[in-house]
Every structure is written in structure tokens, then in C-alpha cells.
Amino acid sequence: MKQSKKLTFGACAIVIAIPVSPLQAQSTGGQVANRGLEDIIVTAQRKEERLQEVPIAVNVLSGDRLVEAGLSGTTALQAVVPGLDFTATGVGGTPFLRGVGTTNAGPGNEPSVALYVDGVYMASPYSNMLDFNNIERVEVLKGPQGTLFGRNATGGVIQVITRDPKQSPEAEVSVGYGNYDTIQGSLYATTELGPNLAIDIAAQIDDQRDGFGRNVTLNVKSLWHKNYSVRSKLLWTPGDNTEIRLGADYAKLKSDLPAYRSPRDLPGVGGVLPPPGKYDTAINVNIDGEGQTRAVAEPFGASLRVDQDFGALRFVSISAYRENPAFNSIDSDGRAAFTVSGVFDTKQHNVSQEFQLLSPAESAIDWTVGAFLYRNVAITDGVIAGTALGRRNIVTRLRTKSGSIYGQATAEVLPSLKLTGGLRFTKENVHATGSLNGNVAAPVPDRAYSKLTWRLAANYAFHDDVHAYASYNRGIKSGGFDYLAPGSAGFAPEVVDAYEIGLKSQFLDRKARFNVSAFQNDFKNIQIIAIPQGTAITTNASSARIKGIDLDMQFAPMDGLLLSATAGYMKGEYLDFKNAQFFPSSPVLGPPSKFDASGYDTIRTPKYTASLNASYEFATSVGHFELSSTLTYNDGYAISVDNGFQQPSYTLLNTSVGWKSPRNVWGVRVWARNITDEYYYASANKGGSGESFVPAPPRTYGITLSARFN
């Protein structure tokens, strides 16, 4: 490389948001050739298409770029996707996208941002806390996807696509060590089993053996985790037009979350100040001698996908079975004195079957028709106790049956103008039974509905590299029942009408990419979670509106250098919410009261988000070097409906420096996350036990060694 090409990375780095696409780079005589930004192929419409031609706002992250940016799992995606807030409640994930999501990670309460792994719908919040290992790419689709993805996608869809097995043997292994006595390791291996038959296996462990803080009541570590997972896929291609994939996965996630504490300098229940250490907690679960909060989830499942090309049409079948057992113990008052706590055993299993017929690859009209069948059973057996509640033994069983048929077609009606139309009809029934202290709850009517959702879109190509689009989508999120409130009447489905216009462009000989979209989401019966002491109740606000703008940019100005930036603006407001619940703040607690939240900001809707990323690659005689830094900004948002409890604004800086040997066999990466040691919330809520939160990780750093063999 020329000696004049030098960059400085570190605390002053220009950076963020992980590049949406890699450079078309190739080592040539010690240099990295700059051939611009390569085309990105996505499956945002359930088939392979160029990202720039899809009339949907999509962020795409390749597996390599996830590693370079230090994004280890789904919760880390919020650092590089504007408008995404992905937090953890115990071992369950609660994603919000463009201000749309649910704060309840309980069984039977499916997220509003749907997660799909290799085309399989992951219904349980205990299944969306994925660690990244054998990832080909991650696609984040924004806005309701009410036709091709259907139910419970009012906020959007996160698609995780894993690598397919290969016939040629290869293996990748890495081991790492970080502060807080953290051990990490991963393995990926693939090989052939016979003609046209290949298998792979991916395994990962992330064991943080020391906590970020201490539980000063029990004198034990706090804010720790131990996660491991294994996934395998078998690929059989008996003919040129047939692909059969059999997959299976298992994971175990364990932590002491949610280790709640009150906001700093704000007294908790009874006027007691939180511990002085900002990562310390004083909580103590006092049910059956449990003694410490902890959460354990063991999601596992299997899937079978068949792709058959008949020439005149293509056929896809996706069958899946999932189990999601979990245990949670919660002390929601955030202090040592016993006020309210609970322990819960939950079991959830679901079966899904999807069939699709797709048009031939070269068809003048691009069409997809399909059917989706789904059955889910979620069982909770728990105990809640408190000084004002006494002891409550709660058992609930929620059963969901859902079926839908759908179709979507795209045709070029005028030169360069394509129109898309899609419809989905969904029929769903949710049945609930339960008991309180052994007394069977009175029967309640099933929550049943039939809904039609749709998509209309126009896409105009000014040039191969410049496309403008406009779309109107309707999406729904299921109604249902609260798992901690046996005998309750339940809540109605949430409906969203989404309007979006966008521009996707590439220029400067494809060395620059600029995508922008503006959106407005209008909600009816938006679902809101309230948390009185000892339970969680879902109510429906009459209407709400969230609107905003997303920007996504990449620039490859010189050999090996890729600059990326994302930015988002949102404004969310409850238009009509007269029956909102208000909870007094600590330390003066009391029963909730009703108030009119019309005109208040919607929760988890940051006004401004932004990210910058710089990655630089160069080859030398001693190996290949990769440098990457990412800067993320979040303007903060309301946590409670009354807007009295807020997530403060925060800025995060991550960086990494990597080296690979000349033949790409050995590698070393040094990484650091949250370099400035920013203090912000990983999750937070306000309810009958006051305001409480779990702090996000402080500054972490480490080193990872890797090897690759083929």
C-alpha cells in the first residue's frame, strides 16, 4: 500500500453502522482492489432479489461485517440499524422497530417484530436471543409485512439466514477471552456425507464468569450470563432442481437477569436508596427460599425445507417444530426488603407448516401464493408473593390456532414501472384457561378473529441504479390473553396501516450508495403493557401514529476503505388513549389510576438515532489487516406511557483490529465495546413497584484467536 494511506482508529474514529455490504475486494500484489460496492441479494419478498430493486426499507448485514463490528447476537443489532431497539427481559428478547413492539417477554405473547431463521417463524421471545456464528447475512425489514410474512409483524421482520453445508470439507474455530473473566468459543465445520449430501455443525459458548456488579444483599455476583448453542443443517440435492434441508438447533441461556435496580439517586420502595455501585443491586427473591434472581431458557427445535423447481413453477415447503421451556424468578421492587417477587416455570411449543408456489425465475409476472398453518401452546405455572398481595399460585394455559392464505404479484405495467399487489387472509383463535390458588378461573370467550391484510407498492426505475418506490401496507398483531391474569377478558388485535415512500440509488461508478425512506404508521388498538404489582396487563390504546425518516449510506472512496452511515428520525404520539394507567413514582407508591395519555409520546420511540462506521482493509507480506470502528447515538425515549420515566440519550463506540495470515489460516482480533463506558439501560419499566431498570454492559474488551482449515 502507499505510505500516504494511513488512518487512525480509536476513541476519535469516524464511525458506525456496520457496512451494509462488503467491498468487492481482492488481494492483488499486496493491495486491496477498489471495485466499488457489490450487489446485495436479499429475500425480503421470500425470493432472491437485488436489494436496490426491492420496494421495502431493508438493512442488510453480512456475516463477515457482523464479526468486524463486534456484533455477537440479535440484541447488538440496535447499534447499526436505525430505529431498532432490541432489549432483553430475562432471557427473552423484546425488539422494537420504528417504535413498534411489545415490552412483555412472556410465553404466548409473541413479539411485534417477527424473527425468522432460515424461513422458520420463531414465535417465542425465548427464541430470539440468538448468538451469531454460522451467519450468512441478517436482513431487517422495516414496517408491517402483512402479506408474505403475515401474523405478528406490525413492526417489521428480522431474517437470519445461516450458511448452507458444502461438499468440500472446511472448519473454522475461534477462542477468546475478555474482561469480567469472559470465555468465548465457536466452531463451524462442514463436509460431505456422500454424493449430493452435505452436513454442517455450528457450536458457540459465551461464559461471563464474573458479574458487572454485585448483589449487596446476598453478596454474590450480579449481571452475568452463560450461553451456549449448537445448530446443524443437512443439505441433500438429489437433482439439479431439488434441494432438501433438514435443520436442528439447541441453546441454553442462563443469567441472573432481570437484576433490577432503581434509577441512580432515586429512592426505591420504602425510600431506600439503591446501592452506591452503579452496576450493583440489592434484590432478593423471597419465595420458597430461592434467594437470587435467575433466568434459564432452553429453546430447541427442528425444521425441514423442500425447494423444488418444476420449470413452470417452483414449490417450497417449510415444516417446523419448536420447544421453548424457561424458568424465571423476578424481584421487581429493586431492593432487599420483601415487597413483591415471583418465580415462573413456563413451557411453550409450536408447530408450523408453510407451503408456497412461486413463478418461474424469468416470468413476466412475478408471483407468489402460499398458505401458513400454526399451532402454539404456552403453559405457565408460577407463584407471585408480596406484602400487599399475599401469595398467589397462578397456572395458565394459552392455545393459539392460526391459518392463513396469501398471494402477491408484481408486473411491469409501463416501461420501468412495476406495480405490486398482495393479500393475506388470516383466521385465528386464542383459547385460555387457568387457575388462581387452585381455584379454576371462570371461562372466558375465546379471542377469535378473521382479518384481511394487504400490500400495494409501485416501483419506478429511473436507471438501473436509481429506483423510487411508494407503498401502502396493512398488518396485524394477534389478540390474546395475559399469562399472569387467569380469567381476564384479554385484549384485541392490533392493526397498523403503513405508508412509505423511498429512494434507492447508487452512483460514482457504484462506489456510493444512498437509500432514504419516509414512513407513517397509523395504529388502531395498539397493545400496551401495564405492570401492576404481581401481574402484567395488556390494554388497547384506541389509536396512535408514528412517522419518521430513515437514511442509509455507504461510500468506498479508495482502496480497502468503506465508510457507512445510518440515521433515523421518529415522532410517535398516542392520538387517543383515554384509559392509560398511571403508576406513582418511587418512593411513594400506590395503586394505579387512569389518565388520558392522548398526545403523549409513544414508548420506545427515540427521536434521533445515528451510526457511523469506518472499516479499512489492507494486505501486506505478513498478512491481511482489518480495522473497524463503529459509533452509535440514541437520543433516548420514553419508557412509561406517562413519559415520566425516560431512557437517557447515549453514545457507544466499538472498535476492533484484526489480522489474518497470508493464507488465511490463522487470525487474531482485538476488540473493545462501549469504549467510553457509557451508562444506559438494557431494559427498564415502570409499574406498581416503581421505576426499575437493568444497566447495559459497561466497557468490555478482549482478544479472539481463530483458525480456518480446508
Is-cis flag, bond preceding 258, omega within 30?
yes
Tell me the CATH architecture of domain 27-709: Beta Barrel (2.40)
Mean pLDDT of the chain: 87
d(CA 208, CA 99): 31
Task: Tell me the pLDDT tens digit for each residue of 152-178.
Answer: 788 899 999 999 999 999 999 999 999
- Let me know: does 426 contact 444? Beta carbons within 8 Å: no
- Let me know: does 670 contact 85? Beta carbons within 8 Å: no
* Farthest CA pair distance, the chain: 78
d(CA 438, CA 395): 8
Q: Is 30 exposed, middle or buried (0-12, 13-18, 19+ CB in 10 A)?
A: exposed
397 residue type, one letter? R
**Which cell numbers hold the place of 703?**
482478544
d(CA 79, CA 71): 8
Predicted local distance difference test score (pLDDT) of residue 488: 87
Q: How many residues does the chain have?
A: 710
| Residue 27's pLDDT band (cuts 50, 70, 90) | very low
Predicted local distance difference test score (pLDDT) of residue 85: 85
**Which cell numbers hold the place of 618?**
489492507
Predicted local distance difference test score (pLDDT) of residue 21: 38
Task: Tell me the pLDDT tens digit for each residue of 256-314.
Answer: 877 888 776 565 555 667 788 899 988 877 555 555 567 889 999 999 999 999 999 99
Q: What is the CA radius of gyration of the chain?
A: 25
**Which cell numbers hold the place of 596?**
388520558
Domain ranges of the chain: 27-709
List 586's β-bridge partners, or say none. Answer: none
**Which cell numbers hold the place of 651?**
453514545
Task: Tell me the pLDDT tens digit for each residue of 186-209.
Answer: 999 999 999 999 999 999 999 999
**Which cell numbers hold the place of 271?**
425510600
Strand extents, DSSP E, 561-663: 561-576, 580-582, 593-595, 608-620, 623-634, 637-638, 646-647, 650-660
Within 13 Å and on the Cβ side, how many CA atoms surround 344? 28
CB count, 10 Å around CB of 134? Answer: 23
Predicted local distance difference test score (pLDDT) of residue 282: 84
Asked if residue 468 has pLDDT above 90, the reply is yes
Q: What's 64's DSSP letter?
A: H
Task: Tell me the pLDDT tens digit for each residue of 514-567.
Answer: 999 999 999 999 988 888 876 788 888 889 999 999 999 999 999 999 999 999
Pairing between β-strand 135-142 and β-strand 58-62 as defined by DSSP bridges: antiparallel
Task: Tell me the pLDDT tens digit for each residue of 575-624.
Answer: 999 989 888 775 556 678 899 999 999 999 999 999 999 999 999 999 99
Predicted local distance difference test score (pLDDT) of residue 65: 77
Instruction: Give this prediction's pTM.
Output: 0.90
Strand extents, DSSP E, 324-465: 326-330, 340-358, 365-386, 390-414, 417-436, 439-440, 447-463
| Residue 483's pLDDT band (cuts 50, 70, 90) | confident
Task: Tell me the pLDDT tens digit for each residue of 405-454.
Answer: 999 999 999 999 999 999 999 999 999 999 999 999 989 999 999 999 99
Predicted local distance difference test score (pLDDT) of residue 537: 84
Predicted local distance difference test score (pLDDT) of residue 213: 93
Nearest to 264 by CA among 252, 278, 280: 278
- Let me know: does 84 contact 587? Beta carbons within 8 Å: no
Predicted local distance difference test score (pLDDT) of residue 131: 75
DSSP string for residues in 681-692: EEEEEEETTEEE
Is-cis flag, bond preceding 165, omega within 30?
no
Residues 6+ apart with CB under 8 A from 56: 44, 45, 141, 142, 143, 471
Which of 328-342, 374-388, 552-566 has the lowest average pLDDT? 328-342
Predicted local distance difference test score (pLDDT) of residue 135: 87
Within 13 Å and on the Cβ side, how many CA atoms surround 371? 5
